[in-house]
Chains A and B, each alone.
Chain A
């Protein structure tokens, strides 16, 4: 049984503030920036001033120490008020694959050194795990980390690295011995100007085009042992932790996007007239909008349940995968419905409906494909 979610007065107030902030400050010039794949660092800094990057981080390191339910409510507000889904994706990548793993697995020195900058917007984080031959089978990675005295020497290449072109800090994964499988994987914190690290080919995408992505190449990249994140051979644990947080929390902004599109579709279906009446009076159109509402109502408790579990320091592996699978597929279905409700206009770039669809498609792929989520759920069910 999934309990319904009622935000507290404070959380509702914060969500309302996030909506107002996003509408007023974020997502300008979106059509051109989407076309040109331009990340907006000014908006990034505005988000930092609002406190987005600081929310889940402890106050000891420059954060606000807010609970996850509160953060999800803010993300829902941003998804509703901000049309730049690429920016929200970049924020999520930064939070769940940099800030959170450093907070959980980092040494005191690492936390002191990196978390304040990750909170105040001056550092942008990126995460590199995927490789050309290690996608869903992530722990078959070939990037090597060889211990040489008080350093590791890293060689290899990472692909699909979100934020890479603008990142200041990378959490990257390499293996000390491929024969060890997941038990060989080790995580490292690498600063952008480290010799041997270079950002490679820019990767053009179907959607989320304002969130830049590139390859990262490591050539005899010497990393001090003190920049290892967590224990040697425990990178898989760090990665799984990142994914558990990301799978659950990246969905918060989807709720806002789904709500915004639902409202736009209702408005359009009430005002657009064909054959002498509003198109919403035709069942075939109304039913699509009804389905969008049903999906949103089904998705929302799933997402907030993850926040509740994590706020109680409980694991949410199963719940995060259930939510990731259902919410991402619902998002795609609803954005497709929105295009159909808007008809030919929905297909036009100018209407900014088709971009939400393009932005949505990646959600069934990143942070583990829908197929991988089903595998995780099956395993949790003892199958």
Chain B
């Protein structure tokens, strides 16, 4: 779980928050509702998750409920990997 979270955190920091202090990106930092992830960034993140974790995420699963916080994304990935 921790490695999944770290991979997601690193991806978001590198791709969408370059120069930001890693300590400012917390598990519950709003991503979608704060604008850190716009819709295209979410699409790219979904592709990254699918390729990295070997899962498939459907279009209807990409809303705020699953992508607004790192902990939500980690939970989605975990549920997919366990499915």
Q: Which residues of A approach B to under 8 Å, CB–CB? A: 139, 176-177, 180-184, 232-234, 236-237, 240, 381-382
Please indicate which of the listed interface residues A180, A233, A236 has the most CB atoms of chain B within 10 Å of its own CB.
A233
- Secondary structure at the A interface, as helix, strand, loop or mixed, is helix
Asked whether B29 is an interface residue with its Cβ less than 8 Å from the other chain, the reply is no
Contact B17 A183 (CB under 8 A): no
**Complex Cα–Cα for A236 and B40 (A):** 8
**Complex Cα–Cα for A180 and B60 (A):** 7
Least CB distance, A176 to chain B, in whole angstroms: 7
**Complex Cα–Cα for A169 and B40 (A):** 27
Contact A233 B58 (CB under 8 A): yes
Chain B residues near A176 (CB, 8 Å)? 59
Contact A180 B43 (CB under 8 A): no
Q: Which residue of A lies closest to B39 (CB)?
A: A181
Asked whether B62 is an interface residue with its Cβ less than 8 Å from the other chain, the reply is yes
Q: Which residue of A lies closest to B42 (CB)?
A: A183
15 pairs of residues in contact across A and B, judged by CB atoms under 8 Å: A180-B62, A182-B39, A183-B42, A183-B46, A184-B59, A232-B58, A233-B59, A233-B60, A236-B40, A236-B43, A237-B47, A240-B40, A381-B18, A382-B17, A382-B18
Q: Which residue of A lies closest to B15 (CB)?
A: A382
Chain B residues near A177 (CB, 8 Å)? 59-60
Asked whether B19 is an interface residue with its Cβ less than 8 Å from the other chain, the reply is yes
55-70 of chain B: CB within 8 A of chain A: 58-60, 62-63
**Complex Cα–Cα for A101 and B25 (A):** 36
Q: Which residue of B lies closest to A236 (CB)?
A: B43
**Complex Cα–Cα for A20 and B59 (A):** 50
Chain A residues near B62 (CB, 8 Å)? 180, 183, 233
Chain B residues near A381 (CB, 8 Å)? 18
15-43 of chain B: CB within 8 A of chain A: 16-19, 39-40, 42-43
The 7 A-B pairs at the shortest CB distance, nearest first, are namely: A233-B59, A382-B18, A181-B39, A183-B59, A183-B62, A182-B39, A182-B43
Chain B residues near A181 (CB, 8 Å)? 39
Contact A232 B59 (CB under 8 A): yes
Chain B residues near A233 (CB, 8 Å)? 58-60, 62
Chain B residues near A184 (CB, 8 Å)? 59
Chain A residues near B59 (CB, 8 Å)? 176-177, 180, 183-184, 232-234
Least CB distance, A114 to chain B, in whole angstroms: 24
Q: Which residue of A lies closest to B63 (CB)?
A: A180
Chain A residues near B47 (CB, 8 Å)? 237
Chain B residues near A234 (CB, 8 Å)? 59
